[in-house]
Amino acid sequence: MTRKGWCPGALRPMPAGDGLLLRIRPHGSRFDPGQVAGLAGISEIFGNGQIDLGSRATLQLRGVREDALSEVQHRLGELELLDADPRLEARRNIMVTPFWKVGDGTQAITRELEAALRKAPELPPKFGFAIDTGERPALQAASADIRIERAGGDLLLRIDGMALGERVGRETVIARALEVLDWFSGTGHRRMAQAVAAGSDPPLHADATPDTQAPLEEILRSGPFLFAPFGAATSEALSELAGQALRLTPWRAVLPEGTVHSELWRTDPDDPLLRVSACTGAPGCASASVETRGLARQLAPHVPAGRHLHVSGCAKGCAHPAAASVTLTGRDGCFDLIPDGPAGGEPLLRRLTTENLPDVIRGHLGS
């Protein structure tokens, strides 16, 4: 078991206000139909039926009972969702584009990277990889430190904080990624962008531009995605998809590989609820002094298309680590307002109460 505040995993669950939280990292950002059914069952029997979709294409089982932990881990092992040890699990932060196709090499690159990471140097907890080698780029705004992308017909190796990358061959891409990892581990930084910003000089011939990504709104309209506002799904909603393989995404959405008629998932990418992020907040998280999701639902109709509102229980900003058009950060029972910034950013307004927030939000978002 890990202390609160560490990155949780299936082998190192995190105590939360509603029981243990187990973060499951699917291989290749994909669950096969048996894994989908198995996870729904585990959540129903041993958890509280609440399931989170994470911003790094992970799935979190909530409310798992401590006395059921060993049985849950046993079942996850049978589903091939348990790593050999917590150290290997922690470094397997690999996000894969949902737009890969059979034969395009994406899954093979992922397997090679997973194998190579077993021998890689120690990595900071949040260090991650994005394999964005589908027919169009999709993960450029998602959190990752090392990216494998495409530039025209070539593979590209790029690190966070740099606009350009190095063209690499299919046979050398993983070896080059490991060389960059070796270099990074000697910088003493926790994230790649920090190392670049500090002036460290990575061992990359960065002279090629990655393919240009379409706006996220367009990406979300391009597939039959199933959305869970706030990333909050349930065992019942997952059971509804049990006959499907699912591709996970960083957008609080899953992409089923087959046709689905769902009652329990949202299917409209223009749903205003998808323009707001909110963490568990109070009372589920002990770090929060404010309720978050009810407020976010109330404010969602005031958020215009193309803008994003983040309601965070505290400055940690779990639900949306990046900047949002407006972030409301809970503090001592009230909210600070941060325009165009993350939850820990510099507030423009302080000590706002829920009564005056709709007017304030309308003013700041131009709705």
User: Measured from the CB atom, is 59 or 285 closer to ligand SF4?
Assistant: 285
If one asks whether residue 187 binds ligand SF4 (CB under 6 A), the answer comes out as: no
User: Measured from the CB atom, is 88 or 282 closer to ligand SF4?
Assistant: 282
| Min CB(321)–ligand SF4 separation in Å | 9
CA distance 92 to 98: 18
If one asks whether residue 285 binds ligand SF4 (CB under 6 A), the answer comes out as: yes
If one asks whether residue 367 binds ligand SF4 (CB under 6 A), the answer comes out as: no
**Count of chain residues binding ligand SF4 (CB under 6 A):** 12
If one asks whether residue 276 binds ligand SF4 (CB under 6 A), the answer comes out as: no
If one asks whether residue 279 binds ligand SF4 (CB under 6 A), the answer comes out as: yes
If one asks whether residue 281 binds ligand SF4 (CB under 6 A), the answer comes out as: yes
Q: Which stretch binds ligand SF4 (CB under 6 A): 97-105, 241-249, 275-283, 331-339?
A: 275-283
Residue whose beta carbon is closest to ligand SF4? 313
User: Measured from the CB atom, is 14 or 130 closer to ligand SF4?
Assistant: 14
| Min CB(43)–ligand SF4 separation in Å | 19
Q: Assess contact for 173 and 148: CB atoms under 8 A.
A: yes
If one asks whether residue 185 binds ligand SF4 (CB under 6 A), the answer comes out as: no
User: Measured from the CB atom, is 76 or 318 closer to ligand SF4?
Assistant: 318
User: Measured from the CB atom, is 37 or 328 closer to ligand SF4?
Assistant: 328
First and final CA of the chain: distance in angstroms?
Answer: 46
If one asks whether residue 280 binds ligand SF4 (CB under 6 A), the answer comes out as: yes
The Cβ-side half-sphere exposure at 247, using a 13 Å CA radius, reads: 18
What x-and-dash track marks residues 287-326 binding ligand SF4 by CB under 6 A? xx-----------------------xxx-xxx--------
User: Measured from the CB atom, is 269 or 330 closer to ligand SF4?
Assistant: 330
- Binding residues vs ligand SF4 (CB under 6 A): 279-281, 285, 287-288, 312-314, 316-318
